[in-house]
Structure 1
Amino acid sequence: MNFRYRARSADGRIVEGVIKDVGTQAEAVNRLRLLKMLPITVTEAKGGHPSSSSLYARLRLIATVPLKDKALFFRQVTTMVAAGVPLGSSLDLLSRQIANPRLADAVTFVKQRVDGGQSFSGAMRLRKEFSPLMIAVVRAGEEGGVLDRSLDRLATFLERQDALKRKVVSAVSYPAVVFGFALFVLYLLVTVVVPRFSTVFDSLNVELPALTRHTFRAALWFRRYWYVPLAVVAALVGLVIAMGRNDGTRYYVDKAKLKLPVFGDLILKSSMARSHRTLASLVESGVPILQALAMTADTAGNVVIERAFKTIEEGARKGIAIGELTRRQKIFPPMVGHMITVGEQTGRLEEMVDKVADWFELELDEKVKRLTAILEPLLIIFVGAVVAAVALAVFLPIVSAIQTMI
């Protein structure tokens, strides 16, 4: 029997999924408790329409695996391995209850390879769902005999990355929603309200103020050639995407992103926080520093930052101190180089890099709060100004006509 569940994970999040091939509801509940999850609802999964569910499953299998699902998987593996459950049994249990079909398929594949005698990291390397960083951390844990600790670090790292991603999305989503609403209101005013009043004013035979004339002309042009601004925006977006994917122009696109007003600093701080957290997690897990720097560069997400880390890696191969190399890169604040130097001198490099990541995340939090506090009134003023301008353009001729009649 299969049971669909809704439960609260150890970190307080609500998760959903399906536990497969269990005899009773009580057994399903026991499996959840073994994973340190508090069951909320556990009900038998009823059969639906095969064709539609099969199509839905196939579409989900094609989709990418969200970061939060990977974080939850590694957190659950950590819990079970630390509790003494064999790795193969842990993977078998998790593969039956993971809600994401693609991740469940990957875990099943890895479990079969592990049962066949292959290492966990070696099996992970054969699936695209697991990044080189994940594989390196797991391999370091296997080689050092501290797999449970490496898995715990990896789970914590992925959870922090997911939280960081959600912070950035929340900072960008509010202005985007308000701006989209403003465009929708403007569209209604231009295509519905203004044309009706235009007909009325033509019949009144009154001289229209300059604001009204320009507004009506703009509305008429937009109604006739609405596809022109859409085509221009689509072309610009397509050009930026194409340049971002081209190796020859991607550097300039990423450099321009960092110089964007308001959002450029947000992008820089989020990339810096992610990169330094990656470096700290790799070094703490026992990955050699040169390999850790190379992997951090590959996962930077911005070519400007990627090149900075690659330059540091090349210098480190020549024996130059990482702190000194960091200070030479203008993109890093001076504080970063000093903290890394302290870490090198005291033998606590991973701890110092982790503190650098904490500092960037704190700066990002403050930036998001300030951005929200500033943009909220500005966007409200913008929407109000647009509506007021159109309203003024409509009512000025009415007032003029009334005065003429009097």
Structure 2
Amino acid sequence: MQLYSYKAKDSKGMLVKGQLEASNQAGVADSLMKRQFIPISISLVETKNNIKIFDNLFVEKITLDDMIMFSRQMYSLLKAGIPIIRAMVGLAETTQNKKFKNVLIEVTKQLEQGRDLSSAMAIHNEVFSRLTVSMVMVGEGSGRLEDAFYQLAIYFEKEQETRKRIKAAMRYPTFVILALVAAMIILNIFVIPTFASMFEKFDAELPLMTQILIGTSSFFVNYWWLLLVMVIGSVFAWRRYLNTEPGRFKWDQYKLKIPFIGDILKRTLLARYSQSLAMVLRSGVPMTTGLSLTAHAVDNSYMEKAIITMRQDIEKGDSLLRASKSSELFSQLVLQMVAVGEETGRVDELLQEAADYYEREVDYDLRSLTAKIEPILTVFVAIMVLILALGIFMPMWNMMSAIKGN
């Protein structure tokens, strides 16, 4: 028996947390369902006996590409009339990702024991999000499971395209920053010490800037291990901080205010919100339930809290438009789309239009990102060159002038 931590919803929709002992996650899920609880997440509580430091070091991660392929293949197989268990067995055999293969095998075993697909997937909440599980559940209820997987495939593909565009836009600034860091390391380890020994040999009088550069280089060379410990310690402390709810909330809030990048990130998250909510509403999920699912899908605790507040406002009787206005997340154009959607009963269609609008805005911002960042990087390089010239070459010129004078 192992100890598991769980989060679940009771019959009134209230969040319940606790721990249970069971042989596996399926056992925990069964116990919760018998108590009329709906499992949200189930995770193994790590103890000294089951912590394996290097277990996850070389384990292949499950990527969006895997989820896209899974959703596309499930859509094709189910549309062709192939039974679910047979489809899952086939996908488990052909999947290249070993971790995903094991998950699909476990899901198939649960199906063979009589569990439906959505609850079998819900056990593996680290792979299948609440949004994914809910879409599958709606598909099972409506008898159109293949349509649910088709919509999930479209959703994952758009998410993948957005991530690729962001990575492509950040490639040049990242390369320049890494090149600058490498140049600074080379200067401090090899170049500046060479000039320092030459200045010492000639007993030259050094200006303040040169003394600062030589002192920094000396500290870098002699205490590199201390710098390494400080960097590793800072990274560890930062990750520990982000693992706390207040830390993650503050960081997620701050990310949306970072110059140049913050607006792009915010529009990306709003596009994800609009796309997710449009998808679940199109599938017949109630508005309040859809907002709860979408809140988790945005993957930003600050925006998640704002969306949960919107859901609470709607539960009190507000319209989606009024709740959206109160959140102060959306532009006037998108609010007009929501208003028209509510008036015409086409909220899902207008939310999809809003998602497309935000994606176009993200595309434009990403294309202009390099043009915005390039001048800043140029100024930074110029400052580095100026400091180097004042600190290294000025004493050399003074020495040459003194030698010529003599």
Determine the C-alpha separation between the residues in 1 that align with 2:366 and 2:211.
Answer: 41
Are 1:101 and 2:111 an aligned pair? no
Instruction: Choose the corresponding residue for 1:83, options 61, 72, 80.
Output: 80
User: Equivalent residue for 2:146?
Assistant: 148
User: Equivalent residue for 1:161?
Assistant: 159
Give CA-to-partner distance per residue, 1:90-139, whole Å, 9 cap, x none.
22221111111111122222233334443222322232321211111111
TM-score w.r.t. length of structure 2: 0.78
Determine the C-alpha separation between the residues in 1 that align with 2:228 and 2:169.
Answer: 25
SS of 1:332's equivalent in the other structure is: coil
Check the 8 A contact 1:273/1:358 in 2, yes or no: yes
Determine the C-alpha separation between the residues in 2 that align with 1:60 and 1:216.
Answer: 40
TM-score w.r.t. length of structure 1: 0.78
1:204-283 to 2 correspondences below 5 Å: 204-226=202-224, 234=232, 236-283=234-281
1:345-384 to 2 correspondences below 5 Å: 345-383=343-381
C-alpha deviation, 1:89, in angstroms? 2.5
RMSD across aligned positions (CA):
2.5
Give CA-to-partner distance per residue, 1:182-233, whole Å, 9 cap, x none.
1111111112111111111222233334433332233223334445655555
User: Equivalent residue for 1:326?
Assistant: 324
Check the 8 A contact 1:212/1:394 in 2, yes or no: yes
User: Equivalent residue for 1:121?
Assistant: 118
Instruction: Choose the corresponding residue for 1:309, options 307, 321, 327.
Output: 307
Q: Which amino acid aligns with 2:119?
A: G
User: In terms of mean alpha carbon deviation, does 344-353 or 247-256 score higher?
Assistant: 247-256
SS of 1:70's equivalent in the other structure is: helix
Check the 8 A contact 1:141/1:286 in 2, yes or no: no
Give CA-to-partner distance per residue, 1:167-190, whole Å, 9 cap, x none.
333344442332122111111111
Check the 8 A contact 1:189/1:390 in 2, yes or no: no
Mark the CA change 1:287 to 1:206 in structure 2 (over 3 Å): closer, same or farther.
same
C-alpha deviation, 1:74, in angstroms? 0.6
Check the 8 A contact 2:60/2:97 in 1, yes or no: no
C-alpha deviation, 1:330, in angstroms? 1.5
Number of positions where the alignment pairs a residue of Structure 1 with one of Structure 2: 349
Determine the C-alpha separation between the residues in 2 that align with 1:274 and 1:238.
Answer: 30
Determine the C-alpha separation between the residues in 1 that align with 2:214 and 2:226.
Answer: 18
Instruction: Choose the corresponding residue for 1:344, options 335, 342, 346.
Output: 342
Give CA-to-partner distance per residue, 1:209-263, whole Å, 9 cap, x none.
4433332233223334445655555555445433332224443332222222222
Check the 8 A contact 2:210/2:391 in 1, yes or no: yes
SS of 1:125's equivalent in the other structure is: helix
User: In terms of mean alpha carbon deviation, does 259-268 or 247-256 score higher?
Assistant: 247-256
User: In terms of mean alpha carbon deviation, does 229-238 or 216-225 score higher?
Assistant: 229-238
SS of 2:115's equivalent in the other structure is: coil
User: In terms of mean alpha carbon deviation, does 59-68 or 248-257 score higher?
Assistant: 59-68
Mark the CA change 1:241 to 1:288 in structure 2 (over 3 Å): closer, same or farther.
same
User: Equivalent residue for 1:203?
Assistant: 201
Q: Which amino acid aligns with 2:122?
A: R
Give CA-to-partner distance per residue, 1:32-52, whole Å, 9 cap, x none.
xxxxxxxxxxxxxxxxxxxxx
Determine the C-alpha separation between the residues in 1 that align with 2:246 and 2:390.
Answer: 50
SS of 1:207's equivalent in the other structure is: coil
Are 1:293 and 2:291 an aligned pair? yes
Mark the CA change 1:231 to 1:269 in structure 2 (over 3 Å): closer, same or farther.
farther
Determine the C-alpha separation between the residues in 2 that align with 1:60 and 1:255.
Answer: 30
Check the 8 A contact 1:327/1:337 in 2, yes or no: yes
C-alpha deviation, 1:322, in angstroms? 0.6
Q: Which amino acid aligns with 1:70?
A: M
Q: Which runs of 5+ in 1 are unaligned?
A: 1-57
Determine the C-alpha separation between the residues in 1 that align with 2:219 and 2:56.
Answer: 42
C-alpha deviation, 1:265, in angstroms? 1.6
Determine the C-alpha separation between the residues in 1 that align with 2:360 and 2:137.
Answer: 31
